[in-house]
Amino acid sequence: MAKAILKFDLNDFDDRMAHLRAVKSLDLSMAIWDILQLRKTMERRFENTENTNNDVFDGIDAICDGILEILDDHGIKIDDLVN
């Protein structure tokens, strides 16, 4: 059985960032999956509304809000992962 051990020097800023990214990889993967499913949610949301005054900006706002909610649900703080 193959094994891999990742070592990080948590006193080093770059290693600390790499460690956080490695630890959050499953959360990121799950968030990406949910974001890809967001299209179906948005289609249902805008199909089932009686308000026909929605424009493209309503859709953009809904998608952005949905992405932010998904990231929050998975504990993803982009500012912590990207510098």
Residue 8 lies in a domain: no
d(CA 38, CA 83): 27
Q: What is the pTM of this model?
A: 0.76
pLDDT tens digit sequence for 19-75:
999 999 999 999 999 999 998 888 877 776 565 676 778 888 989 999 999 999 999
Print the domain residue range for 33.
Answer: 13-47+55-81
d(CA 30, CA 34): 6
**Overall domain count for the chain:** 1
Question: Could you identify the residue written with the tokens 């990742």?
Answer: 6
